[in-house]
Amino acid sequence: MKNNSSQSYNSEENNSKKESAFSTLDSRFNQTLRNVQGLLKGRSIPGKVLLSRSDPLDQSNIQEHSPNYERSFSYNDAETSDRMSKDLEEEVQNPNKPSNNANSNGLNSATSNIENTSKEAQKSTMGARATDSARIIKFTKVLSGTTVILEKLRELAWSGIPPYMRPDVWRLLLGYAPPNSDRRGGVLKRKRLEYLDCVSQYYDIPDTERSDDEINMLRQIAVDCPRTVPDVSFFQQAQVQKSLERILYTWAIRHPASGYVQGINDLVTPFLVGFLSEYLEGSVDSWSISDLSPDKISIIEADCYWCLSKLLDGMQDHYTFAQPGIQRLVFKLKEVVRRIDEPVSTHMEEQGLEFLQFAFRWFNCLLIREIPFHLITRLWDTYLAEGDALPDFLVYIFASFLLTWSDKLQKLDFQELVMFLQHLPTNNWTHQELEMVLSRAFMWHSMFNSSPSHLAN
């Protein structure tokens, strides 16, 4: 009897120990996840706000996207996001007003257990709402002032801009729209009329009034426009290509030091989609520019033209003869990669692969050809928030981008490296992968950019 009682007691004690061990392991696992995510939590850093990361076990702060992420996600969701954002602003202004948005019901619920993918997706939607509410309030406060404080706007924009605020914020960040709200409308109206005058003077003329160089340049632009973002059907519309042609040719004529350089056509596309989103709703693939009046199209073209001009003013030597600015940054990229990941750097050197063979296109097109187009406007938020510091920061973004495949690169020979880097596996990328690239870039920039001696041989 005593033996049976003893065995029963030992059995219960063992089961209790096992449960305790599992509980401890589970607790440690959860804590580890919290610690890792904690390294990436948004925090105030002079001149920058690091991307917000959330506790993976906290549904009120998480936003993940499934591998089946649609290419036009940011535009498919733009209407919903705008609606949610505006509802949130109304809630802030009228706290007693009942909410009609079904998603708001999920904001008050909380659970630390992720049971399956379906529930996780629901949590991510609610988390996006909770996270966006605080950011929207901050953006609204900064933008509502008589004079916008650009440094505060840059800090907010670096981590992403709510879609319906993006056009206004981009105009401000680039210096196209003045910070003073009283002057803004007048300045934009004048600049838009100036663009129309330029189109009339340089584009809407017969070829007999153009030089041979101008005719050749216009022909090259006409050839490149149909090749621009070929996997997004919107850009295959004839009227869209005509708008691109007018913007690019007018810009090239007014910037004779560089003229038109292949790759600049890609740089117009984020602006075109961003400013069109003020007038068109739903998925970008469902848009038809013919739904807009000629006056609205002219306004959009003018905004694209001036924003492209402002962007390229900070990197003029990227597109002048021999493109010395890009060559300089490619060399710096090589040095940064060597410092951060010497095994990759050594392997690529042993295989005889030059950084110019793959990174030149990255700098020339600012990664537009390397990642899914639905991520580009989010990437542009960070680009434009960097302002004059963008060229140097590109080096760290591209280093982070390249070293995403550090282990893979070390296993490839020369031919395999060339093919892999020309067709990088980013088709299924979501905002999560892009944010990781930007987070690493920020960290490395903070470590190395102010200490050039670290990059010396």
Q: Residue 9 pLDDT > 90, yes or no?
A: no
User: CB of 263 within 8 A of CB of 364?
Assistant: yes
Task: Identify the pLDDT of residue 47.
Answer: 36
Report, as an integer, the average pLDDT of 326-333: 97
Q: Residue 123 pLDDT > 80, yes or no?
A: no
Q: Say what percent of the chain tops pLDDT 90.
A: 68
Q: Residue 245 pLDDT > 80, yes or no?
A: yes
309, with CB counted inside 10 A (0-12, 13-18, 19+), is middle
- How much is the CA Rg of the chain, to the nearest whole Å? 26
Identity at 144, one-letter amino acid code: S
Least reliable range by pLDDT among 85-94, 218-227, 363-372, 448-457: 85-94
Q: Residue 394 pLDDT > 50, yes or no?
A: yes
| 75 Cβ contact partners less than 8 Å away, ≥ 6 residues apart | 163, 273, 277, 282, 283, 284, 374
Higher pLDDT, 306 or 115: 306
Q: Residue 4 pLDDT > 60, yes or no?
A: no
Structure tokens at 269: 């596309």
pTM of the model: 0.74
Assign 30 a pLDDT band (cuts: 50, 70, 90): very low
Assign 75 a pLDDT band (cuts: 50, 70, 90): very low
Q: Residue 110 pLDDT > 80, yes or no?
A: no
Least reliable range by pLDDT among 121-125, 182-186, 408-412: 121-125
Structure tokens at 370: 């390397």
User: CB of 369 within 8 A of CB of 361?
Assistant: yes
Task: Express each pLDDT in 159-207 by its tens digit.
Answer: 999 999 999 999 999 999 999 999 999 999 999 999 999 999 999 999 9
Q: Say what percent of the chain tops pLDDT 70.
A: 70
Task: Identify the pLDDT of residue 452.
Answer: 59
Q: Residue 68 pLDDT > 80, yes or no?
A: no
Kindly state the DSSP code that residue 346 receives in the 8-state scheme. Answer: H
Q: Residue 293 pLDDT > 50, yes or no?
A: yes
Q: Residue 40 pLDDT > 90, yes or no?
A: no
Q: Mean pLDDT for the chain?
A: 80
Q: What are the φ/ψ torsions at residue 44 (nearest 5 degrees)?
A: -75, 125
What separation in angstroms does the CA of 274 have from each of 97, 171, 269, 417?
Answer: 32, 11, 8, 34
106, with CB counted inside 10 A (0-12, 13-18, 19+), is middle
Report, as an integer, the average pLDDT of 60-86: 39
Task: Identify the pLDDT of residue 66.
Answer: 34
User: CB of 51 within 8 A of CB of 439?
Assistant: yes
Task: Identify the pLDDT of residue 226.
Answer: 96
Task: Identify the pLDDT of residue 455.
Answer: 53
Report, as an integer, the average pLDDT of 229-234: 95
DSSP, collapsed to helix, strand or coil, labels residue 296 as helix
Structure tokens at 450: 């102010």
Higher pLDDT, 298 or 456: 298
Higher pLDDT, 82 or 398: 398
Task: Identify the pLDDT of residue 10.
Answer: 52
Least reliable range by pLDDT among 16-20, 33-37, 329-333: 33-37
Task: Identify the pLDDT of residue 25.
Answer: 44
Task: Express each pLDDT in 133-150 by its tens digit.
Answer: 889 999 999 999 999 999
Q: Residue 378 pLDDT > 70, yes or no?
A: yes
Assign 454 a pLDDT band (cuts: 50, 70, 90): low
Assign 316 a pLDDT band (cuts: 50, 70, 90): confident
Q: Residue 54 pLDDT > 60, yes or no?
A: no
Kindly state the DSSP code that residue 99 receives in the 8-state scheme. Answer: P
Q: What are the φ/ψ torsions at residue 430 (nearest 5 degrees)?
A: -120, -175
Identity at 92, one-letter amino acid code: V
Task: Identify the pLDDT of residue 69.
Answer: 31
